[in-house]
Amino acid sequence: MAEAEDKKSAVQRRCLDVKLQEMRLDFNSKSGPKITGYAAVFNQETELWPGFREKIAPGAFADSLGKDDVRALWNHNPDYLLGRNSSGTLRLWEDEKGLAYEITPPDTQWARDLMTLMKRGDLSQSSFGFNIIERSIEVNDKRDEMTRTVKKAKLFDVSPVTFPAYPQTEVHVRMTTNDRNEVEYFVEDQVIEAVPLKEPDVQPTSDEDLFRQCDDLLNGAFHK
């Protein structure tokens, strides 16, 4: 599966259940105001594209939190740096609910603008940027859906966002096979998943055969 993950090298953005990811300002800290919230929620399924769902497993960020230099950004924009874990201005931890964070924002005009928007209630959601390191795949036969569970991820940033990075529902989704006898699940021109076919020695000989095997895949015909 390493080859499939290499194709997804671009940083992915997610915002899951909004109600579980509300941010808040804490003015009770002696060291200044804090921005706190949850960037990710564990075991919360979300539909990324039609027929393709994803959830984050508890502990998915544990390794990354111990070694990676993660930033807090406004709207994922590196020009608006809110904090950094290596400097102590960003704290990150996992609890039973998800990936939590606490940001000590800088004393800059744009950071004060951000906190004003939060106090007004105009901005209350957060997102995170990551790459998938390890995952598992399962199919729900009743719903004809594929679900990817992210078991291990490299975390790049957590971000208060104006518009959450929800995927579009009206996108071009297609499947094809590659030279490793895997079915690749495409959204637009990006491979978001590749799963081995059940019969490794059988190659589709026509579009009809390919569609049949793709349909079999979505109904459980793949290696787990």
More confident residue, 129 or 203: 129
Going by pLDDT thresholds of 50, 70 and 90, the confidence category of residue 222 is very low
| Three-state DSSP state, 218 | helix
Q: What is the pLDDT of residues 62-120, one digit of tens each?
A: 999 999 999 999 999 999 999 999 999 999 999 999 999 999 999 999 999 999 998 88
Tell me which residue of 156, 157, 184 sits closest to 6, measured CA to CA. 184
d(CA 123, CA 25): 11
Domains of the chain: which residue ranges? 2-161, 173-218
How many other CB atoms sit within 10 Å of the CB of residue 88? 9
- For the segment 136-168, what is each residue's pLDDT rounded down to a tens digit? 988 766 666 788 899 999 999 999 888 765 544
Listed residue (25, 31, 39) closest to 89, CA to CA: 31
- In sequence order, what are the residues at sequence separation of 6 or more whose Cβ sits closer than 8 angstroms to the Cβ of residue 134? 150, 151, 152
Give the pLDDT of residue 219. Answer: 46
